Amino acid sequence: MRRTLVATAALIAMIAAGPGPALAAEGYPTDVVTDYVIGCMASNGETQDMLRRCSCSIDAVSSIVSYDTYEKASTILQMRQATGDATAVFREMKMLDDIVKQLRLAQIEADFRCF
């Protein structure tokens, strides 16, 4: 029970939090943009062409979903991968599926635009 309360409190804090430090593309922090591009290149090849495509991808995502939505979806996805009772709320709450769906749709659109 206590773990569920802690997870719920973390979820509420995540939803209430505003954007953070230095912002890059469409209000995304530079470190988030960089992390996205590095992860994209690690998955697709570390070439100059992939650098351009992955940069295009995060630009497309940032033009579709706000940083706030991106941050929430990323947190939900990370918490869904964790094990334990405290993170079960992230797997069970259906309203969180809508937030993740927004990011997934933006990523699909980014793939069409950039790859």
Rg (CA), the chain: 15
- How many distinct structural domains can be found in the chain? 1
* 8 Å CB contact between 15 and 71: no
Domain holding 46, by residue range, is 2-114
pLDDT in tens, 56-110: 999 999 999 999 999 999 999 999 999 988 888 898 899 999 999 999 999 999 9
Q: Dump pLDDT digits (tens) for 10-62.
A: 444 444 444 444 455 669 999 999 999 999 999 999 999 999 999 999 999 99
Distance CA 102, CA 113 (A): 17
- 88 burial type by CB count under 10 A (0-12 exposed, 13-18 middle, 19+ buried): middle
